[in-house]
Amino acid sequence: MNPLVVNNVVKQYADKTAVSGVQFEVSKGEIYGLLGANGAGKTTTMRMILGLIYPDQGEIRYNGKPYSNELLKNIGYLPEERGLYPKIKVSEQLIYLAQLKGMSAKDADKSLKYWLERFEVPENYSKRVEELSKGNQQKIQFISAVIHNPQFIIMDEAFSGLDPVNVELLKATVKELRDNGASIVFSTHRMEHVEELCRNITILHRSKEVIKGGVKEIKSKFPKEKVFLQTKQEVKGLEQLAGVKVIHRHEHGLEIEIAEEKVASHILNHALSQSEIEHFQVKEPTLNEIFIRSVGERNE
């Protein structure tokens, strides 16, 4: 049985359904992506996993057991908005938080120093949080979620407010936590992070699951509707081919939207007959496109 099982949970707020029938499992050493537009029910789902609120229906099991206070020590949480004491030293508050998670002050101090070193900010140890830049605060927040080496990690918008260098640093860290066997639930709006990190995802829309499964399978289910073509000479008459919808002329080639996948081979044959081909690719839909299509179209 997988360490984290979310079984058909439903959450109703007064007159509004926040989450309706969400179901997924996270195995050991996996990052699970929870996607959705604002207000789709991601935060509510995460709060239920954190045990802050209880589901109306369905259940969540951790290592096969229901939620209990014992579990608090085993969960790390990175909230969407920064949550730290602004006027208290980094060392004091992180050791405090780690102690609440059951660590001894000494171990917490050691772990904190390791992580600060790891994030290349050891000088922040004795600074107050309000003195730090936004990116550095985010690093401290990240440390507060993982300092006690939890089995379950919930990350809400982990990389917001970071520059590309630091995003890479934190991404590498998340992968390492995964490889060490943590079960991670991860939410973001940045689809390229999801493609890189997550094995399985759920896309929520208005409290319901609209797409769910492995990133590869989801992509393969969506038809390939784009072709990239780069040729030596100009190819004429592409517009007249059946199934060609739009042609975008880029600097180094053409991006052609097609009605169905088999049109691609017609385009290739047509092009070959006129010119040598430098580059031809039938493009997979990006998750971004899938997301916008599945969420955006239903919005209408």
Partner 1 sequence: MKSLLDRLVSVMNNFGTVVRFTVMNKLKAKPFIISTIVFLLIISVVVNLPYIIMQFQGGGSDKVQTIGYIQDGAAPGSTTAQQLQQYFEAVEGSRLQLKSFPSSGDAAADEKTLRDALNNGELYSYLQFGEMTDSGFPEVIVKSEKLLDDSISNQIEAALHIIRQSNVLAQSGLSEQQLNELQAPIVVEAVQIKGSMSGEDGDSAISAAEQGVNMGIIYFLIIFLFMAVMISGQMIASEVTAEKSSRVMEVLITSVSPLTSMFGKITGMFLIVLIQLASYIAVALLNISLPHNAEMLQGLSIDLSVVDPMLIIFAILYFLFGFFLFATLYAALGSIVSRTEDLGSAVMPMTFISLAGFYIAIFSIATPDSMLVKICSHIPLFSPFVMILRAGLTNIPTWEVFVSLGILVVTIYLAVVFSAKIYRTGVLMYGKRPSFKELRKAMKAYKI
Which segments within 119-272 are labelled E, that is strand? 152-156, 183-187, 200-205, 208-214, 226-231, 244-249, 254-258
Name the residue nearer to partner 1 (CB basis): 32 or 142: 142
Query: Where does this chain touch partner 1 (CB under 8 A) — which range of 81-89, 109-117, 234-242, 264-272?
Result: 81-89
CB of 102 to partner 1, least distance (A): 7
Confirm or reject binding of residue 134 to partner 1 (CB under 8 A).
Answer: no
Question: Can you tell me the distance from the alpha carbon of 139 to that of 165, in angstroms, rounded to the nearest whole number?
Answer: 13
Query: Using an 8 Å Cβ cutoff, are 129 and 139 in contact?
Result: no
- Nearest partner of 293 among 192, 222, 226, judged by Cα: 222
- Binding-site size, partner 1 (CB under 8 A): 34
CB of 280 to partner 1, least distance (A): 50
In sequence order, which residues have a C-beta less than 8 Å from that of residue 266 and are 6 or more positions away? 241, 242, 243
Confirm or reject binding of residue 77 to partner 1 (CB under 8 A).
Answer: yes
Confirm or reject binding of residue 242 to partner 1 (CB under 8 A).
Answer: no
Dihedral of CA atoms 25, 30, 36, 39 in degrees, nearest 10, equals 70
Residues numbered 96-125 forming contacts with partner 1, rule: CB under 8 A: 96-97, 99-102
- Nearest partner of 127 among 82, 81, 94, judged by Cα: 94
Residues numbered 46-65 forming contacts with partner 1, rule: CB under 8 A: 47, 50-54, 56
Among 69, 126, 240, 299, binds partner 1 (CB under 8 A): 69
Q: Are strands 152-156 and 75-78 parallel, antiparallel or unpaired?
A: parallel
Among 21, 29, 58, 79, binds partner 1 (CB under 8 A): 79
Q: Helices (H) and strands (E) in the chain — how many of each? A: 10, 13
Among 87, 110, 113, 279, binds partner 1 (CB under 8 A): 87
CB of 114 to partner 1, least distance (A): 20
Question: Can you tell me the distance from the alpha carbon of 60 to that of 152, in angstroms, rounded to the nearest whole number?
Answer: 13
Site of interaction with partner 1 (CB under 8 A): 12-14, 47, 50-54, 56, 69-70, 72, 75, 77, 79, 81-88, 92-93, 96-97, 99-102, 144-145
